[in-house]
Amino acid sequence: MSKSTKAGSDSGAKGDKVWAIMALVSGIGAAKVTNKVLSSGWKASTGRKPPANPADPDVRLVEAVLWSAATGATVALARMFAQRRAANYYVKSVGRLPKQLEKDER
């Protein structure tokens, strides 16, 4: 392998590591913000704090199901949107998608 080919693959690997960090940070940030917003909305609409642990048998089943569904779906969507924005930034910076996001062959 020539030095230029190795250097190109090293920078690609480095870029993919940068992407992994960007995806992780954006996903965690989106999850934290979304959870805070959902908790505030739950408290405003029910007058109570959201269930800390929906699996707790002392939490009413309807509350556990509603809280789990709301947080699961909303956090997943927020993470996806945050990671898509991070991917757009990555493409503008590097000029290509990270290997983890390369388009599928259809």
Give the Å distances, CA to CA, from 65 to 35, 59, 62, 94: 16, 10, 5, 42
Are the C-beta atoms of residues 51 and 69 closer than 8 Å to each other?
A: no
Q: Is the pLDDT of residue 7 over 50?
A: no
81 vs 20: CA distance, rounded Å: 16
Q: Is the pLDDT of residue 5 over 50?
A: no
Query: What contacts 59, CB < 8 A, 6 or more positions away?
Result: 51, 53
Are the C-beta atoms of residues 93 and 80 closer than 8 Å to each other?
A: no
Mean of pLDDT values over 1-26: 68
Comparison of pLDDT for 96 and 55, the residue scoring more: 55
Q: Is the pLDDT of residue 19 over 90?
A: no
pTM attached to this predicted model: 0.70
Express each pLDDT in 61-83 by its tens digit.
Answer: 999 999 999 999 999 999 899 98
